[in-house]
Structure 1
Amino acid sequence: MSERSGKRVDDPLAGRRPTSHERMSGQPWDASYQDGPAPWDFGGAQPAVVRVAAAGGFSGAVLDVGCGSGENALHLASLGLSVFGVDVAETALALAREKAAERGIETEFALADALQLERLGRTFDTVLDSALFHTFDNEERPGYAASLASVTEHDGTLYVLCFSDDGPDTGPHPVSQEDLKAAFTSSAGWTIATIAAERVRTRFHDANGAPAWLATIKRT
């Protein structure tokens, strides 16, 4: 617990269990940022995110879930959008804040558990998940979809950019279109508008990146 304005503030990660990715790797997410750039941190915003933003796909208050060192959030904020980036890795958030200060971009970053986003106590018009969904296993995904629903305004838009199982040289934890459809159901408050073939840039693929899906999902 910490104190602010005379009120007790709960630990945003209280009760958090290691995710399936952390259990498989034997390391917390924060370790990925402690010895140089993380594998997915190639030094810029994902091209798919840049294209969606250029087409006017982001509006209102924007949440970047699993923002990492902040490249996507900072790109969106540089366009004049109000962006809130959250991650479970404190080292990543520190890097994001340093970048924001260096670039003179006003962006808010905070520690949060993607599986308990309701703790944020706020909602957003547009939500971005860039390369987080595929790190959750089948048992975690329904809870993650519910967590996202809790912070997405009705008729708001969620973009999920994730590794695809369709094509050679896939990234780790590739998922199928069926996996996306199974997680974001009408009963969970979602309607999938489109799932399109995309690419995800990483530090271990060439400039073309790895096969990906870009799902555009509406909150009902």
Structure 2
Amino acid sequence: MAQNVPSKEHFQQAYDGSAPWDIGKPQPVFVEAAEQITGRLLDVGCGTGENSLFFAERGHPTTGIDFLEHPIAQAKRKAAARGLPAAFRVMDALRLDQLGDVFDSAIDCGLFHVFSDEDRAHYVNALARVVQPGGRLFLICFSDLEPPGDGPRRISQAEIHAAFADDWQVESIRQARFETRRDPHQSPFSEGGPLAWFCVIRRSAG
């Protein structure tokens, strides 16, 4: 399967304009799963922070990280304006050990599918260092049911199971969609939003 790995500049340019995934509210799949998400929360690849802020408002001690300064600055401004105590840091998701902290839950909204095969393995290992045993990762990624074309890699269920074969247990995978900005000139994806997999993955207890 083609890797189609976007560059850092791609994301910088997206945030300089109107990133199609930056919809000004949390992704619906995380709102739907909110009751399953417990304790201290890490939002990996948080962008401008809408998912983080949703969970902070629900009372979760929340940390969001992203490798770009611009969306993190926006997330901090939003948190201050809304009076929410979420923390935001500029950080490479492959260096999560530098957080010096562990979390009960983690969310990944469209980060997993941007990595090369090599970096995907590093990413999963990095997550295992910061999600406590028994904690869970809630992940949405592009599905291989989405027709080939622009955008990130399409991911199969088999690839998800393979990536999380060690130190994790895939509890569930279901079909979902990303909500994107409703701009017909900007979205080359399926009508109704790109097809996705929503996964619940538990960190092994020992």
State the alpha-carbon separation in 2 of the partners of residues 142 and 168 from structure 1: 25
Q: Which has the higher contact order (CA 8 A, sep 6+)?
A: 2
In 2, are the aligned partners of 1:60 and 1:82 still within 8 Å (CA)? yes
Change (3 A) 1:169 1:198: farther
Q: Show CA shifts across 1:6-31 (max 9, x none).
A: xxxxxxxxxxxxx9421xxx726333
Structure 2 unaligned spans of 5+: 182-186
Quick one: which of 38, 42, 65 aligns to 1:86?
65
Q: Show CA shifts across 1:186-219 (max 9, x none).
A: x3x1110111111111223688321000110000
In 1, are the aligned partners of 2:137 and 2:201 still within 8 Å (CA)? yes
State the alpha-carbon separation in 2 of the partners of residues 179 and 161 from structure 1: 13
Quick one: which of 161, 167, 173 aligns to 2:153?
173
Structure 1 unaligned spans of 5+: 1-18
Percent identical residues: 40
In 2, are the aligned partners of 1:30 and 1:90 still within 8 Å (CA)? no
- RMSD across aligned C-alpha pairs, in angstroms? 2.0
Quick one: which of 168, 171, 175 aligns to 1:193?
171
Query: What's 1:21 paired with?
Result: 6
In 1, are the aligned partners of 2:148 and 2:154 still within 8 Å (CA)? no
- Is residue 189 of structure 2 the alignment partner of residue 210 of structure 1? no
Q: Displacement, 1:105?
A: 1.6
Q: How many residues align?
A: 194
> Segments of 4+ in structure 1 off by > 4 A?
167-171
Change (3 A) 1:111 1:167: closer
